Amino acid sequence: MTTHTSVYQAAALYDLAFSYRDIAAEARFVRELYRRRRGRAAQSFLEVAAGPARHAIDMRAAGLAVLALDLAPEMATYAVEKAKARGLTLDYLVADMTTFEAPRTFDLAACMLCSTSYLLTPEAVLAHLRSIRAALAPDGMYFLELTHPSELAGERKSQSSWKMSDAGGELSITWGGDLAKSINGVWHADVELRYSPLDGSPPVQLHDAADQRVFTQLELARFAEQSGFAIEASFGAFDEQIKVEDSRAHRWLVALRRA
């Protein structure tokens, strides 16, 4: 599986790039969705393509048994240290999300930040979903954050450039590409991170490129059925009142259940 490797190796910069997100609220949304639909609280959580594993760390702080999984060992090292700083332990498995074997089963699994966009072929998608299914308890739920399907028609829902800062400097992020020119949902994404330290030292600059994909609703339903899942619910934001078709929708959030 090809990803923006150099970007994911720079774990601290990647984490800063997406630090605008309200991780606690997102993790709570996923837990509450599970609780309402299963009639009980989830006791365990698997975060796939976890990166800095902020959702897994938040779930651990909420009392769940957790496992984070990612292909980049740099992310694993970084996330374990982040958890330790909060007084938590974090189990982290370095593995490919298409062909992994979890050491146990989980009530709840999630793949956030559109990370399944790197599954470019039907074979990769099905292998991933079957690996997830094997890692879930019989009544388990798999929660996906996906690029909104309307972006394929050129309706931009997500930002492609933004800035973040920390005590040491400012980070400029560009995650560019023209989804309207995608071929069978696959588009070419150029990514650039530029960190400018406040102390005047030379900036750190990373550039990488890789293909990513956007799923249509029909595609996802077909992949789910072929791998033993069914679509249980979908939303256009971390708000159950915002549906995928809503003008306020900026993401496609999907809950899958084992069929």
166 and 20 Cβ atoms separated by less than 8 Å: no
pLDDT at 253 > cutoff 90: yes
Alpha-carbon span 247 to 1, nearest angstrom: 33
Cα separation, 177 vs 227, in Å, equals 30
Looking at the fold, whether 140 and 111 belong to one and the same domain comes out as yes
120 and 55: one domain? Answer: yes
Cβ atoms of residues 82 and 58 within 8 Å:
no
The whole-angstrom separation of Cα 252 and Cα 237 is 7
Question: Same structural domain for residues 142 and 174?
Answer: no
Claim to verify: residue 132 and residue 235 sit in the same structural domain: yes
Distance of CA 14 to the CA centre of its chain: 13
Q: Are residues 171 and 207 in the same domain?
A: yes
pLDDT tens, position by position, 94-115: 999 999 999 999 999 999 999 9
Domain match, 135 and 225 both? yes
Domain that holds residue 22: 5-149+214-258
Q: Is residue 75 located within the same domain as residue 141?
A: yes
Residue 67 pLDDT > 80 = yes
Q: For position 259, what pLDDT does the model report?
A: 85
User: Is the domain of 121 the same as that of 241?
Assistant: yes
> What CATH number does residue 225 fall under?
3.40.50.150
pLDDT value at position 157?
67
Answer yes or no: do 23 and 141 share one domain: yes
Mean pLDDT score, 52-68: 98
Q: 13-17, 87-91, 187-191: which range is least confident on average?
A: 187-191
How many domains are there within the chain? 2
Cα within 13 Å of Cα(221), Cβ side: 6
Residue-wise pLDDT for 141-178, tens only, equals: 999 999 998 887 777 767 789 999 999 999 999 998 77
Per-residue pLDDT tens over the stretch 18-50: 999 999 999 999 999 999 999 999 999 999 999
Residues 126 and 12 in one domain: yes
**Phi and psi at residue 110, to the nearest 5°:** -150, 150
According to the model, what pLDDT value does residue 187 have?
86
Distances (CA, A) of 95 to 25, 40, 75, 125, 126: 27, 30, 12, 16, 17
235 plus 189 within the same structural domain: no
Question: How many helices (DSSP H) and strands (DSSP E) are in the chain?
Answer: 7, 11
Query: Can you say whether the dihedral through the CA atoms of 47, 53, 59, 64 is positive or negative?
Result: positive
Q: How far apart are CA 175 and CA 160, in angstroms?
A: 5
What is the identity of the amino acid at 111?
Answer: C
In this prediction, residue 150 carries a pLDDT of 87
Rounded to an integer, what distance in angstroms lies between the CA atom of residue 83 and that of residue 162? 27
Same domain, 43 and 125: yes
